[in-house]
């Protein structure tokens, strides 16, 4: 894989993948995104790539069969990732129709296609977190974002396309290059900022008796581990299907807060606050990726622990000034 298109290439995971590809000696990269007035452009400054194209121009070129950049692979990470976005038409157009058009074009051209799905497709988790195709066909997401991502998974499964492409259901990803995400930043970054500004970290109270305050669990996965998996999929174009991407181990928000304070070398101080009404009934109390499918496909690299990942993020990037990947020559 020498020439690669990355949609969402200026975003969080996308720019981290460019960083990874640069480390592997690949620079012939077309970044597709919509920078607007956001700070995403800062993610690109330390990176090497061939060209940048606005996402509207790219999809127009695809529909006109006029793409000038001829890639070996397309990694489609571009999407509206806001779990609180309420414009359903926008989400379906941006997260489903766009993805379908790019995937169909890539398949027709014989181009490797890897795309981002989401753990939000699992809804409340009552059906478990298996990435078995039969389970995916039965899922009921809790929010419109999760539904828009599920729509393409369903399309790929029902048409047989999933047997020719690779999708990843990302769980709770955190790490450098997420600084532009506003309200959608990870809890690690939010906790770091809170600890520095107020001396304490705020977590949601629980309104379920089986969970203590802050004991809600998530599968937190470091962005460096995520791009290692993406790179592996690019190197192994025969590995296809829709896979979970987490660590396989759920950890509590309390454990995350403790890891941040430990990385800061400070005693933990946690404040519990009521859950916003907008999240009530739509909040996942437990997520944990079943990772057997990816492992059986041949991916055998270990995932970093929450504590190691948080320490690397805090000490290597946040404390020095919220640095981007590549800014220090890493």
> In this predicted model, what pLDDT tens digit does every residue of 188-202 receive, in sequence order?
999 999 999 999 999
Under the banding of pLDDT at 50, 70 and 90, the label for residue 89 is confident
Which stretch of DSSP H or E encloses residue 29?
A: strand 29-33
pTM: 0.95
- The SS3 assignment for 242 reads strand
Cβ neighbours for 201, distance < 8 A, ≥ 6 positions apart? 191, 194, 195, 257, 260, 261, 268, 269, 270, 271
- The SS3 assignment for 186 reads coil
Unique residue bearing structure tokens 């066909």: 137
Instruction: Write the Ramachandran bin of 51: left for phi over 0, alpha for psi from -120 to 50, otherwise beta.
Output: beta
Which candidate in 49, 98, 145, 317 is catalytic? 145
Break the chain into its structural domains and give their ranges: 4-175+220-247+288-303
| Least confidently predicted of 224-233, 288-297, 321-330 | 321-330
How many alpha carbons fall within 13 Å on the CB side of residue 122? Answer: 28
Which candidate in 42, 109, 155, 181 is catalytic? 181
Q: How far apart are CA 297 and CA 238, in angstroms?
A: 10
Concerning whether 155 is annotated as a catalytic residue, the answer is: no
* pLDDT value at 253 more than 80: yes
User: What residues form DSSP beta bridges with 221?
Assistant: 173
Q: How far apart are CA 67 and CA 64, in angstroms?
A: 8
Using only the alpha carbons of the chain, give its radius of gyration. Answer: 19
Topology adopted by domain 4-175+220-247+288-303: Rossmann fold (3.40.50)
Q: In the chain, pLDDT over 90 holds for what percent of residues? A: 85
Q: How far apart are CA 310 and CA 222, in angstroms?
A: 8
Unique residue bearing structure tokens 């991916």: 299
Structure tokens at 255: 């454990």
Q: How far is CA 132 from CA 2, 93, 165, 237, 292, in A?
A: 31, 26, 15, 20, 10
User: Which one has a higher pLDDT value, 126 or 54?
Assistant: 54
pLDDT of residue 94: 86
Unique residue bearing structure tokens 């809600």: 216
Under the banding of pLDDT at 50, 70 and 90, the label for residue 328 is confident
pLDDT of residue 108: 96
User: Which one has a higher pLDDT value, 281 or 106?
Assistant: 106
Question: What mean pLDDT is predicted for residues 263-270?
Answer: 97
Q: State the Cα angle at 283 between 282 and 286, rounded to 5°.
A: 135
Alpha-carbon dihedral angle through residues 326, 232, 11, 124, given to the nearest 10 degrees = -130
Question: What mean pLDDT is predicted for residues 167-178?
Answer: 98
Concerning whether 145 is annotated as a catalytic residue, the answer is: yes
């Amino acid at each position: 894989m020498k020439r690669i298109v990355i949609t969402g290439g200026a975003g969080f995971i996308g720019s981290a993948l460019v960083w990874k590809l640069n480390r592997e000696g690949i620079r012939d990269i077309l970044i597709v995104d919509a920078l607007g007035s956001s700070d995403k452009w800062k993610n690109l400054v330390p990176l090497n790539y061939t060209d940048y194209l606005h996402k509207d121009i790219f999809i127009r070129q695809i529909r006109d069969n006029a793409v000038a950049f001829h890639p070996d692979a397309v990694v489609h990470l571009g999407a509206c990732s806001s779990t609180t976005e309420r414009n359903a038409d926008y989400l379906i157009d941006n997260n489903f129709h766009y993805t379908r058009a790019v995937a169909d074009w890539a398949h027709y051209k014989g181009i490797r296609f890897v795309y981002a799905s989401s753990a939000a497709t699992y809804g409340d988790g009552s059906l478990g977190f298996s990435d078995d195709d039969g389970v995916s066909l039965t899922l009921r997401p809790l929010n419109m974002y999760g539904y828009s991502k599920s729509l393409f998974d369903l399309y790929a499964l029902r048409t047989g396309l999933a047997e020719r492409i690779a999708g990843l259901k990302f769980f709770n990803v955190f790490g450098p290059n997420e600084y532009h995400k506003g309200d959608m930043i990870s809890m690690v970054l939010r906790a770091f900022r809170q600890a520095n500004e107020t001396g304490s970290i705020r977590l949601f109270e629980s309104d379920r008796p089986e969970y203590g305050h802050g004991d809600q669990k998530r599968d937190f996965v470091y962005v460096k581990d995520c791009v290692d998996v993406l790179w592996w999929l690019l190197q192994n174009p025969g590995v296809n299907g829709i896979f979970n991407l987490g660590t396989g181990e759920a950890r509590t928000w309390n454990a995350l807060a403790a890891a941040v304070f430990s990385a800061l070398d400070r005693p933990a101080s946690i404040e519990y606050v009521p859950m916003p009404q907008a999240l009530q009934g739509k909040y996942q109390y437990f997520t944990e990726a079943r990772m057997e499918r990816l492992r059986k496909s041949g991916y055998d690299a270990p995932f970093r622990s929450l504590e190691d990942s948080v320490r690397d993020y805090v000490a290597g990037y946040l404390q020095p000034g919220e640095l981007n990947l590549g800014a220090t020559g890493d």
